[in-house]
Amino acid sequence: NLFSHMGAKARAYLKGRGLNQDVVRTFQIGYAPNSWHALQKYLVTRGIEIDVALKAGLLGRGRRGSFDWLRDRIVFPIIDVYGRVVGFGGRLLEGDGPKYLNTSESPLFSKGTQLYGLNVAKESLTRGSRLVLVEGYMDVVCLYRHGFSQVVASLGTAFTRQQARLIRRYTTDVVVAYDADAAGQSAAM
């Protein structure tokens, strides 16, 4: 949807953040339209059952049934080290609601076991090279845009032992560059 007429606002936002099409394609960034059922309809036409999409965290369930979890958001696929999409994060473009949402925890996705951007960063990591650990998707993508390919995000300020073990497979030299707000500074400590 990012490159359709529906994605114009999202493309403008990404362009305003200095992201070109190469970066967008490298990280497979997309757009979830402002619709309660667009993804649901798409999945059904592909033969994917609603219950499966609910278990995968792609849809939510409310009083009136299932609905698209990510709406009117720039969508960042969370890709594991094997190149498999295991979850999604979405950045709100405007309006009320959490600035960022992730797909819910599922058998495929656990926020505490993944690092956003590791699928890209691992290509340039060599034993002993330095890795920068940041908080979020846009941090990774913007640094990549400016020539820093060895950057990953912990998907928020919570950094887990599983994420540390994952990093250690590639390097032991890590710079923590969390946000300068209180939550980021506390997490860095």
- Mean of pLDDT values over 8-31: 96
Q: In this prediction, what percent of the chain has a pLDDT beyond 90?
A: 75
Residue 116 is classified by DSSP as B
The amino acid present at 114, given as its one-letter code, is Q
Per-residue pLDDT of 156-165, as tens digits, reads 768 899 999 9
pLDDT band at 95 (very low <50, low <70, confident <90, very high): confident
What is the per-residue pLDDT across 55-93, written as a single tens digit (0 to 9) for each? 888 899 999 999 998 999 999 999 999 999 999 999 999
Model pLDDT, residue 145: 96
pTM recorded for the entire structure: 0.91
Pairing of strands 85-92, 73-79: antiparallel
